[in-house]
Chain A
Amino acid sequence: MGLLDRFRPKKQEKEPSKEEAKDKASSSLDKNLKYLKDKLKDCNDVVYREFRVGNRQQFRFALVYVDGLVDRNMLNEEVLKSLMLQTKHANLSPGIITGDVFSIALRSGLTTGEVKEEEYIDKSMIALLSGDSLVLVDGYKKVLVIGSKGWPSRGVQEPQTESVIRGPRDGFTETMRFNTALLRRRLRDPNLKIKQIKVGVRSKTDVALAYMDNIVDKNVLKEVEKRLESINIDGVLESGYIESFIEDQKYSIFPQVQSTERPDRVAASLLEGRVAIITDNTPFVLLVPATLNILFQSSEDYYERWFIASFIRILRYASAFISLVLPAVYIAITSYHPGLIPTDLALYIAGTRTGVPFPAFIEAIIMELTLELLREAGIRLPGPIGQTIGIVGGLVIGQAAVQAGLVSPIMVIVVAITAIASFAVSSYSVGIAFRILRFFIIALSAVLGLYGLVMGLLLTLVHLCSLKSFGVPYLAPLVGNTYYELGDALVRAPQTVMYRRPKTLAGGNMIRMRVGGAKGTSGGGSGKDGDEGGGGEAKAGSVKAGDGNGKGKAGERKAGGGRDNGQKSGGQQEGGPGTGE
Chain B
Amino acid sequence: MNDQEKITSNQLMAIMLSTIIGIGILTLPRTVTEAAGPDGWMLVLAGGVVAIILSVVISRLGLMFPGKTVVEYSGDIITKPLGIIFSLGFFTYYVLFCAFEARVFAEVTKQFLLDRTPSEAIIITMLLGAAYLARQDIATVGRMGEMLVPVFILPPILFLLPGIPEMDLTNLLPFMRTSPGKLLTGFGTIVTSYLGFEALLLFQPFMARPRDAAKAMTVALISIILIYVLAVVTAVAMFGVVEIQQLIWPTFAVYRVIEIPGAFIENIHGVVMAIWVVAVYTTLAVFFFAAVTILGRILSLKEHSFTALPLALLIYFLALVPNNVSQVYNYLDAFSLYLGIPFGFVLPAVLYIIAKVRGMGKEGGNGREKQAKKSG
Q: A residues engaging B (CB < 8 A)?
A: 336-337, 339-343, 447-455, 458-459, 461-462, 465-466, 473, 475, 478-481
Contact = CB atoms under 8 A, between A and B. Distances in A.
Given A455-B277, A481-B10, A341 B147 contact: no
A479 B273 CA distance: 25
B8 A480 contact: yes
Given A339-B270, A480-B8, A481-B8, A458 B278 contact: yes
A336 B114 contact: yes
B117 interface: yes
Chain B CB count within 10 A is highest, among A340, A343, A478, for A340
Interface string B252-284: 000000000000111100110110011001000
Contacts of A451: 109, 113-114, 122, 125, 274, 277
Contact of A465 (B126, B147, B274, B278): B147
B144 interface: yes
A450 B275 CA distance: 10
Interface string B128-139: 010011001101
29 contacts: A336-B113, A340-B266, A340-B267, A341-B265, A342-B264, A342-B266, A448-B121, A449-B117, A450-B270, A454-B277, A454-B278, A455-B126, A455-B129, A455-B277, A458-B278, A462-B129, A462-B136, A462-B140, A465-B140, A465-B143, A465-B144, A466-B136, A466-B140, A473-B139, A473-B143, A479-B11, A479-B143, A480-B8, A481-B10
Interface string B232-267: 000000000000000000000000000000001111
B125 A452 contact: yes
A478 B129 contact: no
Given A340-B270, A450-B270, 7 more contacts: A342-B264, A342-B266, A449-B113, A465-B144, A466-B136, A479-B146, A480-B11
B271 to A, nearest CB: 7
Given A455-B126, A461-B148, A462-B133, A450 B143 contact: no
B249 to A, nearest CB: 16
For the complex, would chain B's binding face be called helix, strand, loop or mixed by DSSP majority? Answer: helix
A340 B268 CA distance: 7
A461 B144 contact: yes
A432 B266 CA distance: 33
Contact of A450 (B140, B142, B273): B273
A479 B145 CA distance: 9
B216 to A, nearest CB: 12
B27 to A, nearest CB: 20
B170 to A, nearest CB: 33
A478 B136 CA distance: 19
Given A336-B113, A341-B265, A462-B133, A453 B274 contact: yes
Nearest to B150: A478
Contacts of A466: 136-137, 140
A453 B142 CA distance: 22
A481 B207 CA distance: 13
Given A458-B129, A459-B132, A478 B146 contact: yes
B136 A448 contact: no
Contacts of B11: 479-480
A462 B132 contact: yes
A451 B136 CA distance: 22
A480 B277 contact: no
B261 to A, nearest CB: 13
A455 B125 contact: yes
A450 B272 CA distance: 11
A565 B136 CA distance: 48
Interface in B1-25: 8, 10-11
Contacts of A454: 274, 277-278, 281
Chain A CB count within 10 A is highest, among B132, B148, B270, B273, for B270
A522 B121 CA distance: 69
A448 B270 CA distance: 14
B270 A455 contact: no
A459 B147 CA distance: 13
A466 B132 CA distance: 11
Given A450-B273, A459-B132, A462-B140, A478 B147 contact: yes
Contacts of B142: 479
B125 to A, nearest CB: 6
Rank and list the top 7 A-B pairs by shortest CB-CB distance, nearest first.
A465-B143, A479-B143, A340-B270, A466-B140, A454-B277, A479-B146, A465-B140
B351 to A, nearest CB: 31
A427 B11 CA distance: 29
A450 B136 CA distance: 25
A450 B113 contact: yes
B306 to A, nearest CB: 12
A269 to B, nearest CB: 23
Contacts of B281: 454-455, 458
A462 B144 CA distance: 6
A473 B139 CA distance: 9
A123 B137 CA distance: 47
A472 to B, nearest CB: 11
Contacts of A339: 266-267, 270
Contact of B114 (A448, A461, A462, A480): A448
Nearest to A482: B8
Contacts of B136: 462, 465-466
Contacts of A473: 139, 143
A342 B270 CA distance: 13
Interface string B144-172: 10111000000000000000000000000
Contacts of A447: 121
A465 B10 CA distance: 15
A498 B265 CA distance: 38
A472 B164 CA distance: 44
Contacts of B265: 340-341
B36 to A, nearest CB: 34
B147 to A, nearest CB: 6
Contacts of B264: 341-342
Given A455-B281, A462-B140, A475-B143, A340 B121 contact: no
A449 B132 CA distance: 20
A528 to B, nearest CB: 26
B145 to A, nearest CB: 9
A479 B114 CA distance: 33
A342 B271 CA distance: 14
Nearest to B133: A462
